[in-house]
Amino acid sequence: MKYELTAKDPGCDARLGKITTPHGTIRTPAFMPVGTQGTVKGALPEQVRSLGADIILGNTYHLYLRPGHQLIAALGGLHKFMNWQGPILTDSGGFQIYSLSKLRKIDDEGAVFQSHIDGSRHFLTPEKAVEIQQALGSDIMMCLDECIAYPADRKRAQEALARTAQWARRCRDAQTNREQALFGIVQGGFYPDLRRQGVEDLRAIGFDGYAVGGLSVGEPKEAMMETLSRTVPLLPEDAPRYLMGVGTPEDIVEGVFHGIDMFDCVMPTRSARNGLLFTNSGKVVIRNARYREDHAPIESGCDCYTCRNYSRAYLRHLYVSGEILAMVLNTIHNLRYYQRHMEGIREAVANGTFVKFRRDFLSREKNDGENAADNRDI
């Protein structure tokens, strides 16, 4: 993997770049649609690519449990298995283990957890996480880390930070295929000095990229941005920076403002399945009665297949009727919205106008929030 920084906005820390991998180039800042179980829900791989995504995310935990990393490897790796020809990033399974708080036990060796599928017991170590990801054949692998809930006291944050550093070293030592990149994950809770220590620990080991983890775990937005603003400047400038599990269009804008290059979130696809559609003039709750006779597309000017061919009235009909096509068409639009969002961000950074882009975007989002009552479910 190779990272090239191509431009920086003069008014902030936003930056433009590209990541070259064995399966293609990723334009940054980039948003990665989430393909948890080897599929981006509601869309064909060819559609995801045509909508503008350079890279998708796969989930180590889920693919390990079903169908199994060894089976996927025997069938040619995850790219061939799911017919996705572009780059893939796989997470380590750390966040899923964090979310299984009642089904797992963690110590320095690794995590013992119960499968949410059949209750079977498994032991995930840093070495095992790398083994699984190497078998999957992803372009970018993530170190196993310990994510903690918010709030967490200092002692708990220190404990998780030390374990994350130890696991990062073990992941690096376990890596045998250097054609696959490996990213370290910065933990440390919401304590600035612990975050600094987390960065120093990872830089001492040396990774191909660096992720900020442990955010978007229930903390106030202000705490997330404060932690981000203190952490990102400590990361190497010549390596990709990834903000894990984030997020909303406005969070992406703020992340780019602070110098983040990569994002992922289930929001566009999950929201689509729940009838929430993103537009530049506010969110559309398609089940609302106000759209029953609305002949307009979801968003005027959007170039996605859904907006070019279908009205809000038809999409509302599909959704309230429980038709599968509603989820498919909604997903196509939301995925395209997110990629158009990233295209606008990259253009603004390239032109040195990202500060204005951010100001205008956040102003629109604020007005959308103030007018949300006009789009209530009726």
Whether the predicted pLDDT of 231 surpasses 80:
yes
Q: Are the C-beta atoms of residues 198 and 165 closer than 8 Å to each other?
A: yes
Q: Are the C-beta atoms of residues 145 and 210 closer than 8 Å to each other?
A: no
Looking at residue 372, what is its pLDDT?
59
Whether the predicted pLDDT of 371 surpasses 80:
no
Residues labelled as active-site residues = 91, 264
pLDDT tens profile 253-274: 999 999 999 999 999 999 999 9
Other C-beta atoms lying within 10 Å of the C-beta of residue 320:
16
CATH T-level fold of 2-265: TIM Barrel (3.20.20)
Looking at residue 368, what is its pLDDT?
80
pLDDT band at 280 (very low <50, low <70, confident <90, very high): very high
Backbone angles phi, psi at 308, to 5 degrees: -75, -15
Six token digits for residue 310: 């279908």
pLDDT tens profile 108-123: 999 999 999 999 999 9
Helices (H), the chain: 45-50, 60-65, 69-74, 78-82, 94-99, 126-136, 154-174, 192-205, 221-231, 249-257, 267-273, 305-309, 312-320, 324-351, 354-370
Mean pLDDT, the chain, rounded, equals 96
Whether the predicted pLDDT of 341 surpasses 60:
yes
Six token digits for residue 359: 């100001």
With vertex at residue 336, the alpha carbon angle to CA 338 and CA 344, rounded to the nearest 5 degrees, is 55
Residue found by looking up tokens 């796989």 in the block: 90
Other C-beta atoms lying within 10 Å of the C-beta of residue 210:
23
Whether the predicted pLDDT of 77 surpasses 90:
yes
Residue 7 pairs with which residues in a beta bridge? 16
Looking at residue 374, what is its pLDDT?
47
Sign of CA dihedral 28, 34, 40, 43: negative
Whether the predicted pLDDT of 377 surpasses 60:
no
DSSP output for 52-65: T-S-EEEEHHHHHH
pLDDT tens profile 195-217: 999 999 999 999 999 999 999 99
From-to residues of CATH 3.20.20.105 in the chain: 2-265
pLDDT tens profile 56-73: 999 999 999 999 999 999
